Amino acid sequence: MSFENFRKSFAGVLRRETEQKTYRSSSDLSVLREIERVGVGCFWATDETGKIIYVSENAERSLERDGFQIIGRPLVEVFKDASHGAEKTESRNLAFRIQSRSDLDNLIVRIDHEEAASNRHGRYWRISGAPLVDDEGNFRGYRGNAADITDEFREQCAVARQSQFDELTGLANRRRLDEKLSSIITSRKGRCCALMMLDLDRFKQVNDSMGHPAGDELLKQVGDRLAALVKDKGEVGRLGGDEFQILLPDVEDRGDLAELAGRVIQMLSQPYSINGRRAIIGASVGIAIAPFDGISASELIGSADMALYRSKEDGRGVFRFYTAELRAAASFGVQLEEDLRDALEKGELSMAYQPLVDPLDNRAKCFEALMRWDHPQRGRISPAAFIPIAERSDLILHLGEWALRQACKDAEQWPDDVRVAVNVSARQFMQANMPKLVASALSSSGIKASRLTLEVTESVFIGGVEAVDEIFARLDRLGVRLAMDDFGTGYSSLGYLKRAPFKKIKIDQSFVRGCTESGDTNPAIISAVVALARALKMETVAEGVEAMDELELVTQRGANLVQGYIYSPPLEQHKILENFAKAEWIFKPDGPPRHRADRISLYRRVGLIHEDHYYDVMLRNLSKTGARIEGLEGVPTGAEVVLDLGGGQLVVSNVIHSAERSQGLQFETSLISDGYNGLMTRHRVSPYLLAEAGMPLAALGQGNTPFVMRSDGQKRPPKFVQHDIGQ
């Protein structure tokens, strides 16, 4: 029997009855029961108010056994969306159709009500129905049929879940994340969405040393930690292997994202317990935000991948935001890696040494070896640029061995009571032949083992702790000194200090910078680290001291040694030998009296917007709260301007001083750290807004924003005089 024929028959049976008892006593009810018995399905009916007044007897008894009481309840309360999602689309669709008295055609619903809220074995029906109107044209309710598709629906859900969720962790898989990201971006033009790409550091080492079942358990725990951290703010997924992704709809504040990324790294870096054994890993994070870094899903994913790649290059255990400069840097890095392979043979690498000074007598007790590269075409290249490139390949092993041997060789020419400190990468440290290499360098140079300090970061502890303990023990037996570098910035665990035979802790410069500012908590941290080191009979070194007030504070707090430009920049070997030949052991402190907020010295073209004019200026320095620019004349103090830092970063500013062609700006809203020696705005101008101003729609580039200025139709002359600022 077709539904249309059934509807006509059923409507005739129920037209004059509105009470359930009437239906049950009707002589025609036997016809309906016969239809049910031959497998057509079950029938239901509502009154004109939408309450259910009839359900086929077999269906009602079955529902009652499962605790479902539906007679007398509103239809829209009993039948719910079967998707289990936050969007109750079917429910809303059902309510809309009933309100407009439309036909119901094969809607899949979940039978639900207050008494069945905790029932895990809910029923799923496919319902159809039509409005009933009497001879006078009065609406009498709905009449319809239904089929119980519970088993079929659950099977479909299981299949759908397998295609949408990761079998191991239960998190969303790549397919689901890609579909959701595409849906968010295309749902509304200009809608924001942040994408975090995560890669676990040293997971392979745990997997290899503890076995694949342990690796699977570790991945489950990682998924649980991420889900607990993100909660309902977004969706966490596993892309495969040790790669995870976090999708955060309607989030574009880079300050909030930086804070979340920091918590993710910190949480994932805490120890894991797996089958009674302890494992430690880390995480690197790349962040991209739509529509600023991509106006399509594929473009945004590519940007986040590039940011993740950069975070790995920068030492792992950090987060990086995507910037348009990364694309240019990626191609630059490929060429730089090729050049770096030849740099050792061509003699382009050299060592410089920065003194570690006792602040009580200003006497140098140790020199830290720092690598330098003078490229024949590009000039001096910063270690911050080439060391991360070396660390992604075997180059770091070759560079590390050369640096160790060269530093020991140079130190042999120093006085016997002056030590040398050499940085050792985590990858080099974990090489099985590391102790033999150190012993060989000591033997070749002839210096005593006690004069050599090996500085390692907390990242060496990520992975198999047993192998790390063995290497520490072998190095300790050699008699070399071990120091923990950048203490407090990585995966910080006091257990590391207990496990390893450290003789020195280096307090990272991030705790020194700004430690004299009112309300800063860094002095308490410095005091705590110094007290801890004393209890463990270790030295402390305060890194990055540049101002006299910083020197006074770290000295008062008990730091044994101080390193930074307050005493000296890194010196080449010949300069150190000249000083020693003159018996010049003393480095007198020389620096500004007080710490100033970090200023990044720049020579970069940027834009300045005033009224309906756009000016080109040179950015000379930049801090979180202000900047100095050059290139304009006639700029009055108190003028309100907008500084265009490029990439959609607009900063509302006030001119606080002006002299000839130079102006000082104070920002209305402070910039924030980009996590890597730079500053950025929390928010950016949307590409869709720029498109409205006449620019082509595209992700933000690295240059300034050539706005199409809007005015009131009367072009006013520029207030400022533009000077040529050169290239």
Residue 649 belongs to domain spanning: 600-722
8 Å CB contact between 573 and 360: no
What is the model's pLDDT at position 9?
46
Q: What are phi and psi of 277, to 5 degrees?
A: -110, 160
What is the model's pLDDT at position 647?
87
Distance from C-alpha of 615 to C-alpha of 722, rounded to nearest angstrom: 7
Range with the lowest mean pLDDT among 94-98, 216-220, 517-521, 634-638?
A: 517-521
Same domain, 92 and 11: yes
The answer to whether residue 591 sits within a structural domain is no
Q: What is the mean pLDDT of residues 324-347?
A: 79
Distance from C-alpha of 61 to C-alpha of 68, rounded to nearest angstrom: 9
Same domain, 262 and 373: no
Both tokens assigned to 334: 């490929």
Distance from C-alpha of 662 to C-alpha of 498, rounded to nearest angstrom: 54
Both tokens assigned to 368: 């830290």
What is the model's pLDDT at position 37?
62
pLDDT band at 152 (very low <50, low <70, confident <90, very high): confident
Beta bridge partners of 352: 370, 572
Q: Which letter, b or e, does each residue of 569-600 get, where b requires 16 or more Cβ atoms within 10 Å of its Cβ? A: ebbebeebeebeeeeebebebebeeebeeebe
Range with the lowest mean pLDDT among 150-164, 230-244, 645-659?
A: 150-164
8 Å CB contact between 575 and 569: no
What is the model's pLDDT at position 707?
56
* Strands, E assignment, 543-599: 561-562, 571-572
pLDDT band at 652 (very low <50, low <70, confident <90, very high): very high
8 Å CB contact between 148 and 36: no
Query: Considering only CA atoms, which of 145, 142, 51 is closest in space to residue 100?
Result: 142
Q: What are phi and psi of 366, to 5 degrees?
A: -160, 155
Is 120 a residue whose pLDDT tops 70? no
Same domain, 358 and 420: yes
Range with the lowest mean pLDDT among 249-263, 503-517, 570-584, 701-715?
A: 701-715
Query: Considering only CA atoms, which of 548, 523, 582, 578 is closest in space to residue 362?
Result: 548
What is the model's pLDDT at position 216?
93
Q: What are phi and psi of 432, to 5 degrees?
A: -60, -30
Q: For the segment 268-326, what is each residue's pLDDT rounded down to a tens digit?
A: 989 999 988 888 888 999 999 999 999 999 999 999 999 998 888 776 788 999 988 78
Q: For the segment 48-79, what is each residue's pLDDT rounded down to a tens digit?
A: 998 999 888 778 877 877 777 888 888 888 88
What is the model's pLDDT at position 47?
92
The answer to whether residue 590 sits within a structural domain is no
Of 290, 323, 356, the position where a domain reaches its end is: 323
Q: What is the mean pLDDT of residues 488-502?
A: 67
Exposed, middle or buried: residue 613 (CB in 10 Å: 0-12, 13-18, 19+)?
middle
The answer to whether residue 588 sits within a structural domain is no
Q: Which letter, b or e, does each residue of 11-47 get, where b requires 16 or more Cβ atoms within 10 Å of its Cβ? A: bebbeebeebeebeeeeebeebeebbeeebbbbbbbb
What is the model's pLDDT at position 423?
94
Exposed, middle or buried: residue 62 (CB in 10 Å: 0-12, 13-18, 19+)?
middle
Ordered alpha helix ranges (H), 446-521? 465-478, 494-499, 509-512
Same domain, 535 and 608: no
What is the model's pLDDT at position 18?
40
What is the model's pLDDT at position 116?
45
Q: For the segment 358-388, what is each residue's pLDDT rounded down to a tens digit?
A: 999 999 999 999 999 998 888 888 887 788 7
> How would you classify residue 311: left for phi > 0, otherwise alpha for psi between -120 and 50, otherwise beta?
alpha
CATH number, domain containing residue 78: 3.30.450.20
pLDDT band at 454 (very low <50, low <70, confident <90, very high): very high
- Higher pLDDT among residues 5 and 100, named by residue: 100
Is 700 a residue whose pLDDT tops 70? yes
SS3 609: strand
Q: What are phi and psi of 463, to 5 degrees?
A: 110, -140
Q: What is the mean pLDDT of residues 479-499?
A: 73
CA 707 to chain centre: 31
Same domain, 381 and 480: yes
Q: Specify the DSSP element, H or E, that contains 181.
A: helix 174-187
The answer to whether residue 582 sits within a structural domain is no
Distance from C-alpha of 519 to C-alpha of 551, rounded to nearest angstrom: 18
Q: How many CB atoms lie within 10 A of CB 550?
A: 25
Same domain, 473 and 560: yes
Same domain, 74 and 183: no
**Mean pLDDT score of the chain:** 83
Same domain, 379 and 348: yes
Is 248 a residue whose pLDDT tops 90? yes
Q: For the segment 548-576, what is each residue's pLDDT rounded down to a tens digit?
A: 999 999 999 999 999 999 999 999 999 99
Same domain, 547 and 631: no
What is the model's pLDDT at position 19?
43
8 Å CB contact between 105 and 129: no
Return the ∠ at Cα 29 (arms to 26 and 35), rounded to 5°.
170
Distance from C-alpha of 685 to C-alpha of 720, rounded to nearest angstrom: 25
pLDDT band at 713 (very low <50, low <70, confident <90, very high): low
Same domain, 229 and 265: yes
Number of structural domains the chain divides into: 4
> How would you classify residue 474: left for phi > 0, otherwise alpha for psi between -120 and 50, otherwise beta?
alpha
What is the model's pLDDT at position 598?
56
Same domain, 186 and 152: no
What is the model's pLDDT at position 153?
84
Same domain, 169 and 249: yes
Is 177 a residue whose pLDDT tops 50? yes
Distance from C-alpha of 449 to C-alpha of 561, rounded to nearest angstrom: 20
What is the model's pLDDT at position 362?
92
SS3 628: strand
Whether omega for the bond prior to residue 291 falls within 30 degrees of 0, making it cis, is yes
pTM: 0.62
What is the model's pLDDT at position 150?
83
CATH number, domain containing residue 657: 2.40.10
The secondary structure of 456-473 as a DSSP string is E-GGGGSB-HHHHHHHHH
pLDDT band at 117 (very low <50, low <70, confident <90, very high): very low
CATH number, domain containing residue 336: 3.20.20.450
Is 24 a residue whose pLDDT tops 50? no
Is 330 a residue whose pLDDT tops 70? no
